[in-house]
């Protein structure tokens, strides 16, 4: 077992130099707390009971094959912090060690806390989500996965992840430990399809394969969603949906099973923010976008007869077919560079300007609206003072 | 002190000490360090070219040694005193050093007693010998003379470091300052008075380079000081830890006081008492400990500097109202923790370094990014107007107007202050209801206090005149 070695060497009272050094038995760790709250550093705090003698005691702290940041080591006396003080710290050459000279006015047992940063203890957050068959809610489980390559065994340690109560676990060197940290049932979700004019083909007729629309679950880190207590940490999310399995016995009740529907990386999601999890494509919604008018107007030419400035008059038509038997939420994303204004818009209530160069339509498509019963969105916009070098992003 | 009349080249300092020092230590240190021998010649009574009667005196160890260590350069001024027994007439004093980093051009000799009667006639660096010099000293006095020997050495450095212990509400911190002396000089300094200089000095030649030359103006192959290994290590370990027991003998069972005083453009820290720092070792001493220093938990956002991440700072002032301000704080590394539980467990906040902090200066310790504070700027509208054309009909001037919405969010359990900086190149004008401050010609900052778990937005419009529309 690889552990930091703590050796207490207490100098006897009024020792003539050179000191006669008396070694005292290694005190066991009385408590180990591991703080995993900082994204880039793991802080270990351990408590030990030191038997101090009156006068100056030398406490030798050394470690081998353990990734301790030597510059981070702190010593705090807990029982008598005003009386037990560190006089100085000596660092021997070519060794992972230090020696504290600790003054104590009397012989006593002192509880001390030694804190240090430990490299090699990595933390991942992993999510597993099982959606109900209607895809309106899901059960979210978050797991903390610890990989201990620090060189240090952490027996019976209190693990803090920044929220909730500390978890008490033992984690050996080279052990990977995964533990459930949260389980949120009935978490409301919104299933959304997205058609982005910059990413999806405008006319599926010209494609060899069926065009699928990216599909996502959107959940919100707020109290209405039984979340909102803390920032959701980044991690991989595996998404499943509940299924009915074949009954165990013929004629019996169907069993409960799940099907894997996809996985995504969840980004860091502060409280009150939405988390969008992409999980594949839907091929039951078809979008065809056409620009039916694209005229240059108010053209200004230079003396070489080159167009240097113009306006445009553009009309777009988007035909959407929903082949599903259920209503479907669809977001259409449009990008317009430069200076523009909307002249006419068939769906003003569903229209949302996201930023200077992007707008969206948030539509709920009725079930089975296809063929002659499709949904059609049109808009007419003008781009102004166009020079051909308009910004499209910021 | 005993004077021996034997013909010999050298009597070592450490051999002389052997009788009263730990044999292991003397054994260990024999390979290192300084040698000093006195060859006293009664030349006053002898014919000029006749061989002199030479007396070699076994010398006592250093009576005192003082180290003045600079942190802006690899330089330490060593001052030691010794008692020599001089004869009337010409005395030769040989000073040699091996495996150390002493600058031979810096070695000085000065009598402290009988100064009127003792003159240094010249200094010789003997041929074909390195790391050795010889003083020819004329003395009108026979007997014990206390002398001071001063020289520069490289290889001893010091640095400051700080430990920040922020209160749970991040409104105050306990600030502990430490100084750490690191001795890689090749020489053990026992019971040395340690002084640390905070300040920047000018050097036109590198002390380590001068030391490697062995004698003035000579280029020699590099030789680093030998570090302590093997059995020597334990001897040095005993040496390193010795002063702790001695400190107790003197009932110095409190941390050493570090006395700070201003000297010209420098600040001098004198560590009370004496310390032993063998070569290869370093020693860290508490310099000060100040509880309840007011701090502001300050967050900054500037896309051009840190991208989308918000940086966390602890801001404090090195002033008397902040319970500091007694001296400038030297530059050094900082480890910042925050008390996070009732039983004072730490949360790690971040590591950073601070620059030299003059008295009354407000400083910010940059402690890394904090995802719990969010700034999301959004360009909500972009307009191009006021087109101007040149004689060829090409566009020569235009004006853009950008409308921005800045959304800020604090997901922490603590109130914070947020500083959002925006950069505007060219001929720009800003319109906003939000309070802002112009930092320079192209930068403004919006500083807003943000309550725990609060979100808010502010907006501004920036109009930029481009091409010939620009007037400045």
* Per-residue pLDDT tens digits for B233-271: 556 666 666 654 454 444 456 777 888 887 778 888 888
Q: Mutate which of B182, B252, B382, B397 to test chain A, going by most A C-beta atoms within 10 A?
A: B382
Of all residues in chain B, the percent with pLDDT exceeding 90 is 56
- The interface pTM score, or ipTM, of the predicted complex is 0.84
Chain B, 237-296: which have a CB under 8 Å from a chain A CB? 237-242, 244-249, 253-256, 275, 280-286
- Per the CB < 8 Å rule, is A302 touching B229? no
| Least confident residue range of A106-120, A139-153, A228-242, B229-243 | B229-243
Amino acid B253: pLDDT? 65
Contact across the interface for B453 and A271, Cβ inside 8 Å: yes
Per residue in A252-281, pLDDT tens?
887 788 889 899 999 999 999 999 999 889
Which pLDDT score is estimated for A219? 96
Q: Is B163's pLDDT higher than 60? A: yes
pLDDT over threshold 50, residue A32:
yes
Q: Mean pLDDT score of chain A, rounded to an integer?
A: 89
Q: How confident is the model at residue B100 (pLDDT cuts 50, 70, 90)?
A: confident
Confidence band, pLDDT 50/70/90 cuts, at residue B62: confident
- Contact criterion met (CB < 8 Å) for B371 and A268: yes
Helix locations, B153-291, DSSP H:
207-213, 230-249
- What is the model's pLDDT at position A197? 98
Residue B422, CB-side half-sphere exposure with 13 Å CA sphere: 22
Query: Highest mean pLDDT range out of A240-249, B1-10, B23-32, B448-457?
Result: B448-457
Q: Among the listed ranges B26-40, B108-122, B297-311, which one has the minimum average pLDDT value?
A: B26-40
pLDDT at residue A235, as a whole number? 94
In tens, the pLDDT along B296-329 reads: 999 999 999 999 999 999 999 999 999 999 888 9
- How many CA atoms, within 13 angstroms, populate the side-chain half-sphere of residue B265? 6
Instruction: Say which range, A99-103, A382-386, B32-36, B407-411, has the weakest mean pLDDT.
Output: B32-36
B380: closest CA of chain A, how far (Å) = 4
**pLDDT at res. A21:** 35
Determine the residue among A101, A229, A234, A300 to mutate to test chain B binding: the one whose Cβ has the most chain B Cβ atoms within 10 Å. A101
Please state, rounded to an integer, the average pLDDT across all residues of chain B.
82
pLDDT band at B229 (very low <50, low <70, confident <90, very high): very low
Q: Please give the pLDDT value at position B262.
A: 79
Q: Which has more confidence, B252 or A304?
A: A304
Whether residue A329 is predicted with pLDDT greater than 90 in this model: the reply is yes
Terminus-to-terminus CA distance in chain B, angstroms?
Answer: 83
- Contact status of B401 with chain A (Cβ, < 8 Å): no
Question: What mean pLDDT is predicted for residues B133-157?
Answer: 92
Mean pLDDT to the nearest integer, A219-248? 90
Predicted confidence at residue A27, as pLDDT, reads 75
- The Cα–Cα gap between B123 and B96 comes to 13
Task: Give the Cα separation of B184 and B153 in Å (integer).
Answer: 10
| Cα gap B185→B208, rounded to integer Å | 10
Question: Which of B240, B350, B409 shows the shortest C-beta gap to A90?
Answer: B240
How much is the pLDDT for B46?
36
Q: How far apart are CA A350 and CA A363, in angstroms?
A: 6
For residue B83, the cross-strand partners are: B146
Residues with Cβ within 8 Å of A372's Cβ and at least 6 positions away in sequence, in order, are none
* Contact flag B255-A85 (C-beta cutoff 8 Å): yes
- A338 touches B: beta carbon within 8 Å: yes
Q: Are strands B416-423 and B296-301 parallel, antiparallel or unpaired?
A: parallel
d(CA B202, CA A101): 36
Contact B348 A384 (CB under 8 A): no
pLDDT at residue A102, as a whole number: 92
Provide the 3-class DSSP secondary structure of residue B413: coil
Interchain contact, B285 vs A387, CB within 8 Å = no
Residues 274-313 of chain A whose Cβ lies under 8 A from any Cβ of chain B: 300-304, 308-309
Residue labelled with tokens 């030769």: B92
CA distance A16 to chain B (A): 7
Sort out which chain B residues have CB atoms less than 8 A from A72's CB and list them.
Answer: 335, 351
How many beta-carbon pairs under 8 angstroms link A with B? 189
Instruction: Identify the burial level of B344 via C-beta atoms within 10 angstroms of its C-beta, where 0-12 means exposed, 13-18 middle and 19 or more buried.
Output: middle
Interface contact flag, A338 B384, Cβ < 8 Å: yes
Highest mean pLDDT pick, B19-23, B52-56, B356-360: B356-360
Residue contact A56–B248, C-beta within 8 A? yes
Q: Is the pLDDT of residue A62 over 90?
A: no
């Amino acid at each position: 077992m690889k552990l930091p070695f703590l050796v207490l060497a207490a100098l006897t009272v009024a020792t003539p130099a050179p000191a006669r050094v008396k070694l005292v038995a290694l005190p066991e760790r009385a408590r180990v707390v591991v703080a995993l709250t900082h994204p880039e550093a793991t802080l270990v705090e351990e408590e030990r009971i030191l038997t101090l003698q009156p006068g100056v005691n030398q406490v030798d702290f050394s470690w081998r094959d353990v990734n301790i940041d030597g510059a981070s080591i702190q010593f705090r006396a807990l029982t008598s912090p005003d009386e037990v003080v560190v006089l100085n710290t000596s660092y021997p050459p070519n060794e992972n060690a230090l020696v504290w000279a600790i003054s104590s006015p009397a012989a006593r047992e002192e509880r001390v806390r030694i804190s240090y940063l430990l490299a090699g203890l990595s933390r991942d957050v992993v999510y597993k989500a099982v959606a109900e068959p209607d895809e309106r809610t899901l059960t979210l489980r978050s797991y903390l996965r610890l990989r201990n390559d620090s060189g240090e065994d952490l027996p019976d340690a209190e693990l803090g992840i920044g929220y909730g109560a500390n978890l008490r676990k033992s984690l050996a060197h080279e052990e990977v430990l995964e533990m459930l940290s949260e389980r949120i049932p009935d978490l409301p979700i919104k299933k959304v399809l997205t058609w982005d004019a910059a990413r999806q083909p405008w006319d599926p007729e010209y494609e060899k394969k069926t065009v699928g629309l990216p599909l996502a679950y959107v959940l919100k880190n707020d109290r209405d969603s039984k979340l909102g207590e803390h920032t959701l940490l980044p991690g991989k999310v595996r998404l499943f949906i509940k299924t009915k399995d074949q009954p165990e016995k013929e004629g019996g009740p169907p069993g409960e099973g799940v099907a894997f529907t996809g996985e995504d990386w969840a980004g860091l999601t502060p409280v009150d923010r939405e988390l969008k999890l992409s999980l594949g494509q839907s091929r039951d919604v078809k979008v065809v976008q056409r620009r039916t008018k694209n005229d240059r107007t108010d053209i200004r030419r230079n003396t070489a007869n080159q167009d240097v400035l113009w306006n445009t008059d553009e009309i777009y038509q988007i035909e959407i077919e929903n082949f599903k038997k259920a209503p479907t939420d669809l977001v259409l994303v449009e990008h317009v560079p430069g200076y523009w204004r909307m002249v006419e818009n068939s769906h003003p209530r569903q229209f949302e300007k996201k930023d200077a160069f992007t707008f969206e339509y948030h539509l709920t498509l009725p079930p089975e609206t296809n063929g002659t019963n499709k949904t059609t969105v049109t808009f007419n916009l003008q781009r102004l003072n166009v020079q051909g070098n308009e910004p499209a992003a910021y | 002190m005993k004077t021996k009349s034997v013909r010999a080249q050298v009597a070592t300092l450490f051999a002389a000490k052997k009788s009263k020092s730990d044999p292991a230590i003397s054994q260990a240190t024999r390979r290192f360090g300084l040698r000093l021998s006195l060859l006293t010649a009664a030349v006053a009574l002898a014919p000029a070219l006749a061989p002199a009667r030479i007396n070699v005196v076994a010398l006592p160890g250093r009576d005192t040694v003082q180290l003045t260590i600079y942190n802006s350069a690899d330089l330490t001024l060593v001052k030691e005193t010794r008692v020599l027994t001089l004869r009337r007439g010409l005395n030769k004093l040989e000073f040699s050093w091996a495996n150390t980093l002493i600058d031979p051009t810096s070695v000085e000799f000065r009598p402290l007693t009988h100064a009127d009667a003792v003159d240094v006639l010249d200094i010789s660096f003997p041929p074909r010998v390195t790391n050795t010099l010889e003083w020819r000293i004329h003395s009108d006095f026979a007997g014990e003379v206390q002398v001071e020997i001063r020289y520069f050495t490289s290889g001893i450095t010091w640095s400051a470091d700080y430990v920040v212990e922020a209160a749970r509400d991040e409104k105050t911190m306990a600030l502990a300052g430490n100084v750490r002396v690191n001795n890689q000089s090749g020489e053990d300094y026992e019971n040395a008075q340690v002084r640390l200089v905070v300040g920047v000095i000018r050097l036109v030649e590198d002390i380590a380079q001068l030391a490697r030359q062995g004698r003035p103006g000579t280029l020699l192959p590099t030789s680093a000081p030998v570090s302590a290994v093997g059995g020597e290590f334990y001897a040095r370990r005993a040496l390193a830890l010795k002063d702790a027991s001695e400190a107790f003998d003197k009932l110095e069972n409190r941390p050493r006081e570090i006395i700070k005083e201003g000297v010209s453009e420098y600040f001098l820290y004198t560590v009370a008492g004496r310390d032993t720092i063998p070569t290869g070792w370093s020693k860290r001493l508490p310099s000060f400990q100040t509880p309840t220093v007011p701090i502001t938990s300050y967050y900054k956002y500037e896309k051009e500097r840190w991208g989308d991440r918000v940086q966390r700072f602890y801001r404090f002032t090195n002033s008397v109202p902040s319970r500091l301000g007694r001296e400038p704080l030297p530059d050094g590394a900082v480890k910042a923790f925050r008390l996070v539980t009732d039983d004072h467990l730490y949360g790690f906040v971040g590591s950073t370094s601070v620059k030299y902090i003059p008295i009354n200066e407000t400083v910010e310790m940059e402690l890394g990014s904090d995802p719990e504070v969010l700034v999301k700027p959004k360009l909500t509208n972009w307009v191009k107007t006021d087109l101007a054309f040149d004689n060829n009909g090409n566009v020569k001037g235009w004006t853009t107007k950008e409308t921005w919405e800045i959304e800020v969010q604090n997901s922490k359990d603590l109130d914070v202050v947020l500083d959002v900086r925006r950069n505007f190149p060219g001929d720009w004008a800003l319109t906003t209801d939000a309070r802002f401050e112009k930092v320079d010609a192209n930068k403004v900052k919006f500083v807003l206090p943000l309550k725990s778990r609060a979100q808010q937005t502010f907006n501004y419009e920036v109009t930029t005149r481009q091409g010939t529309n620009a007037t400045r």
